[in-house]
Amino acid sequence: MTELLGIDDILPELIIGLGLALLIGNGLAWWKNRQGETPEGVEDAAYRPGRVRFLMSVGAVMTVWGVISLVR
């Protein structure tokens, strides 16, 4: 029954999605900061490069982990 519904693949797919969201979201923040743009509607927006790099690396690890789990 689990093979029919694909329940075994749900967790790796969720991990891939979260990892890609971390990569894309923080990559976009990094790119916009390099262009000199700030978020609209937010006062005192602080760009934290260490946090961006850390979250991008976590997103990359999660994405690779999810892909490897899904392929096996």
How far the first Cα of the chain sits from its last, in Å, is 19
Mean pLDDT across the stretch 3-30? 90
User: How high is the mean pLDDT of the chain?
Assistant: 90
Mean pLDDT across the stretch 1-11? 75
Task: Characterise 6 by phi-psi region: left (phi > 0), alpha (psi -120 to 50), beta (else).
Answer: left
Percentage of residues in the chain having pLDDT higher than 70: 96
| Per-domain boundaries in the chain | 2-36+48-71
Mean pLDDT across the stretch 29-43? 87
Mean pLDDT across the stretch 30-37? 91
- Which whole-number Å values give the CA distances from 8 to 11, 15, 71, in the listed order? 7, 13, 12
What's phi and psi for 8, nearest 5 deg? Answer: -65, -20
Amino acid at residue number 36: G
pLDDT confidence tier of residue 1, bands split at 50, 70 and 90: low
